Structure 1
Amino acid sequence: MSQVNRREVLTTGGQWALLMALAGLSPARAEPAPAVRLGDPEPFSFDALRQRAKDLAAKPYVAPAAAPSIVGDVDFDAAQKIKFRADRELFPNGPGACPVRLFHVDKYNQLPVRINELSDGVARQLIYSADSFDYKDPEFASKLPADLGYSGFRVMDGRGKDTDWLAFQGASYFRTSGEDNQYGASARGIAINTAMPEPEEFPRFVEFWLEQPKGDAALITVYALLDGPSVSGAYKFTATKTRVPVMDVSAEIFARTNIDRVGIAPLTSMFWYGENDRRYATDWRPEIHDSDGLAMWTGADEHIWRPLINSELVRTNSFLDKNPKGFGLMQRDRDFAKYEDDGAFYNKRPGIWVEPVGEWGEGAVQLVEIPTDDEIHDNIVAYWVPKEAVRAGDELHFGYKLYWQNDEPNPPINIGRVVATYTGSGGVPGARRREDLFKRKFVIDFTGGPLDNMQQRFDVEPVVTHSRGRVDNAYVVKVVGTDRWRALFDLTTEGSDPIDLRCYLRLGDETLTETWLYQWIPAKT
């Protein structure tokens, strides 16, 4: 993934700054210019696209030509001076409510993609033209090749609007602004060999077809051809935005080679530090993250919350499942005071929830946590890994929905959920003993479901399991003046190997809450 400095992103009022910079607006012109030029008409169907992807996978991979060296000079500052002309929008007058604007190539997205307009089964290429952009530096513009091409596109919030809600740019990445109009986490078409000994592969969407909207609604259908050294694929995205953006995804994937690890419906986010572990916090802000946990709804109907962590090593955890009902990287903490950031607005970053369509069979939700010491790097990845190994010639067919919103689309109402995780020194505050030096205290707040309006009682039990060490001092109390119920326990352990923890609340034989999972990594001694 291209390394975009998030500190620059913060200067744009919280929007995905690079997207805005690379395809920004220019004032309306008195004399409207011609629309983007279109190529010759060609027939199109998804079946034909699928066959094309299959045929492509049967041939050796051909890498794209390198971009002209001058493209590397289009850094963030240079990109801000290049504005896509609003009078060259695709679908500017409807019938849909979503005009489309195009991205210039730049240092971070150097390879062009072919983009087509699609209407009634007929596709026409959008021919690149430099006069589709306003260049504030004409001398620099004169040095650019005449056939640069476009690097992607974004879908605007409405006719005449200056903001967007959906963007495709870079490898197979795409993102929406969520329900609070704030960019954050991203999705990808596929993940290949993430966190493996060999380098990760980043297949690209090399061609798009944007279907002309039929009605006056915030809806667009996008078809895409994926290609990379190990796979090719045909994709269909139907994206709508009412209160929140929702996307239906159909993926037809064809393996060109044997693949060690294939990630389906991959999600990418950032977690530097949170209230659960501030050992890596060097910034004044209380918390910094796009997502604070991985939520899972298993095929066995268990709801799980796994807070994200940052550590010194790359950590990969697999959660085995069969026919999962959903998973997502979510931002549960929505309190501005937890972040105190009125530039990045981390409290408004959307979660992304994956809802499988049909049965996905056996496999695992896999979570990868990569060390980071700043907010500029996306360091969290989550995806589904099928149980069966993928070999050359295999075909994978997956359908799913993506919900870009603040909460899970169908949160459980009959059980409580985790709302906060804290860790600190173990023992009794103010009365710690020498042996407490090896203890770590874990504090988990639950709320909702049967916990709401429950009066204080002392027979609610924290059910705690752990992979090693010793757990003691476990109990549950209701937090005074709230509907939160707090589980507390101490973990005593030695060494620096990770410890896996589980906890949920129980009253007699009744399970009151979802399951909290955690991986504690003790400091090296």
Structure 2
Amino acid sequence: MNIYRRRHHLSLKPLSAVLLGLAALTATLPAYAAEFGMATVEAKAKLLVDRTYNPKPLPIPAFLKDLTPDQYAEIQDVSPLWRGDHLPYEAQFYLPGSWFHRPVVIRSVVDGAVRPVPFTLEHFSFGKLNVPKNIPSALGYAGFRLLAPLDNPPHHNEFISFLGATYFRAVGKGAIYGTSARGLGIDTAQPSGEIFPYFKEFWLVRPKPDATSMVVYALMDSSVATGAYRFTIQQGDSTTVHVEATIYLRKPVQVLELAPLTSMYWHGHGRGAIAGDWHPAQHDSSDLVMANGNGEWTTRPINNPLYAQTTTYAMDHPVGFGLIQQDRRFSAYQGIETQYQRRPSVWVQPDGDWGKGQLRLVELPTNNRDMDNIVAFWVPEHEPAPKTPLHFAYTLRFFLDNHGLIPLPHPVGTYLGDDPKVPGARKVVIDFGGGALSKLQETAPVQVHLEAADGAKILSQKLEWEKDGHFWRVIAVIQPQPGSPSNVRCFLTLNHQVMSNTWTYLLHAAKEQM
């Protein structure tokens, strides 16, 4: 599985937009309706699914293709679309290059009519790069980013970027890029290999002077699926992206993944291989949080495992799920450059009833911060038949302040270590905080409910009250069976009443985590 999408090298930097050279590829598609909208893009996606998939990417000069991520970030769009028009939004574009080899078509929509966005190489600055003289004048674009007055009004700054496959990432006020979203995932972590659909065309709706949100349409294509997307984007303290999608399968797939999130977890809190790194933690997300339709909220700490692993959670009528960054203290990461305390949490809230299905978490091993190794996504119980439209919608929220997301007291910290007294045993420390738990006295008869499946033994457990931090700490020693990781669950009660959300983790024996 290739998930090499790095944001550290590209954080809050520009790059890319239109490709006139690809016009011939879309010339046979139906003419635009008088009033452009979602129905127009759906018609194009439906027509694509009946055609033979033949991407025919245009060649990219070696100078651009061979750029490192740092070199690629030198390329800046210095003439944003709509700059000087006194509008609330601007758009900057990325050139093809480095890891982003696929040019895309980008157009604008003005009062319901489609307009070209002409490509001009002179709109790009190449910084310190030594630029050859033979760069084609009609390269086209690889993606785009949107800017608005966010952190330093009235000046515009970047708050969302669409670049590569169906990836996009966003930030709210005071945040920097971290976890990414994707329009669709297919066959992640399957032996046959992952398939990456891509957005081949974009339409940017020119905003009105008083607009408070930005609308973007996208046409998706791949060897196995096509799709139409409408993104309604609103920036602020948190940035929200409302996604409406219609997809068509060309043929059945092994795993159809809706609302996929992609992140990075290297190490921290006794999880993951440190491999000599001196920072106390390096990760964009610390936990997967999920809310089931039956009212149960569950926290699953993320790990950097020794081997690739996929964990599946059956859910019915999901309320939401997301990748959360719990600790917002600089001292937890000590990264002056990386600023992990400013990486956004991302929450997926389904629109309507998504019914039964599975939430899957894929964790891949990594030994550095430059590879996205975490993926979470929804798998519907029933896959649509080929060429049958699947309509779905959801809202993404990118935010820093986790308070108020989870209704009950919940796990706020997880720490793992080894117990040297018992071979293979792990020490598990879980902090529960927030809500009514923080207001209880130390003498309150709070009870721990701890379960370890798959033959694991709970050797000891105790509960402590931390009066200064106002949280309750569970400390347990658990011995999993060698070669058989244990699904461990824990929650707290008071007088037979549930007082916390559920903590769960896939716990390996000590030597299997080395």
* TM-score after normalising by structure 2: 0.90
- Give unpaired runs (5+ residues) of structure 2: none
Q: How does 1:284-299 map to 2 (within 5 A)?
A: 284-299=278-293
How far does the alpha carbon of each residue in 1:461-501 deviate from its partner, in whole angstroms, 9 at most, with x for none?
Answer: 11011112111322212114331101122212331321110
The equivalent of 2:224 in structure 1 is 230
| Cα offset, 1:406, TM superposition | 2.1
* One of 120, 145, 156 as aligned partner of 1:154: 145
Q: Which amino acid aligns with 1:470?
A: K
Cα distance in 2 for partners of 1:21, 1:378 equals 21
1:341 pairs with 2:335: yes
* One of 481, 499, 502 as aligned partner of 1:515: 502
The equivalent of 1:481 in structure 2 is 468
Where 1:150 maps in the other structure, the secondary structure is coil
Q: How does 1:23-422 map to 2 (within 5 A)?
A: 43=34, 44-70=36-62, 71-86=64-79, 89-94=80-85, 96-135=87-126, 140-158=131-149, 161=155, 163-277=157-271, 279-407=273-401, 410-413=404-407, 415-422=408-415
The equivalent of 2:456 in structure 1 is 469
How far does the alpha carbon of each residue in 1:432-461 deviate from its partner, in whole angstroms, 9 at most, with x for none?
Answer: 7x5x33432211101111112211026311
How far does the alpha carbon of each residue in 1:196-251 deviate from its partner, in whole angstroms, 9 at most, with x for none?
Answer: 00111111100000001124345210000000001000000000012210111101
| Native 8 Å contact 1:356 1:400 kept in 2 | yes
Cα distance in 1 for partners of 2:74, 2:397 equals 34
Cα distance in 1 for partners of 2:413, 2:357 equals 29
Where 1:516 maps in the other structure, the secondary structure is strand
Where 1:20 maps in the other structure, the secondary structure is coil
| Native 8 Å contact 1:135 1:141 kept in 2 | no
| Native 8 Å contact 2:170 2:239 kept in 1 | yes
Change in CA separation of 1:209 and 1:459 when aligned onto 2, cut-off 3 Å: same
| Cα offset, 1:396, TM superposition | 1.3
How far does the alpha carbon of each residue in 1:1-36 deviate from its partner, in whole angstroms, 9 at most, with x for none?
Answer: 673666x63xxxxxx43x616469xxxxxxxxxxx9
| Cα offset, 1:104, TM superposition | 1.2
| Native 8 Å contact 1:231 1:254 kept in 2 | yes
Change in CA separation of 1:65 and 1:234 when aligned onto 2, cut-off 3 Å: same
Where 2:203 maps in the other structure, the secondary structure is strand
| Cα offset, 1:279, TM superposition | 4.5
Change in CA separation of 1:96 and 1:208 when aligned onto 2, cut-off 3 Å: same
Query: How many residues end up aligned between the 2 structures?
Result: 494
Percent of paired sites with the same residue: 32
Change in CA separation of 1:472 and 1:136 when aligned onto 2, cut-off 3 Å: closer
Cα distance in 1 for partners of 2:130, 2:45 equals 41
| Native 8 Å contact 1:259 1:391 kept in 2 | no
Where 2:52 maps in the other structure, the secondary structure is coil
Change in CA separation of 1:350 and 1:286 when aligned onto 2, cut-off 3 Å: same
* One of 422, 431, 439 as aligned partner of 2:425: 439
468-477 or 183-192, which deviates more: 468-477
| Cα offset, 1:52, TM superposition | 1.1
Cα distance in 2 for partners of 1:410, 1:320 equals 25
| Native 8 Å contact 1:302 1:514 kept in 2 | yes
The equivalent of 2:4 in structure 1 is 3
Q: Aligned-residue CA RMSD in angstroms?
A: 2.5
1:497 pairs with 2:484: yes
* TM-score after normalising by structure 1: 0.88
Q: Which amino acid aligns with 2:180?
A: S
| Cα offset, 1:390, TM superposition | 4.2
- Give unpaired runs (5+ residues) of structure 1: 10-15, 25-35, 427-431
The equivalent of 1:30 in structure 2 is none
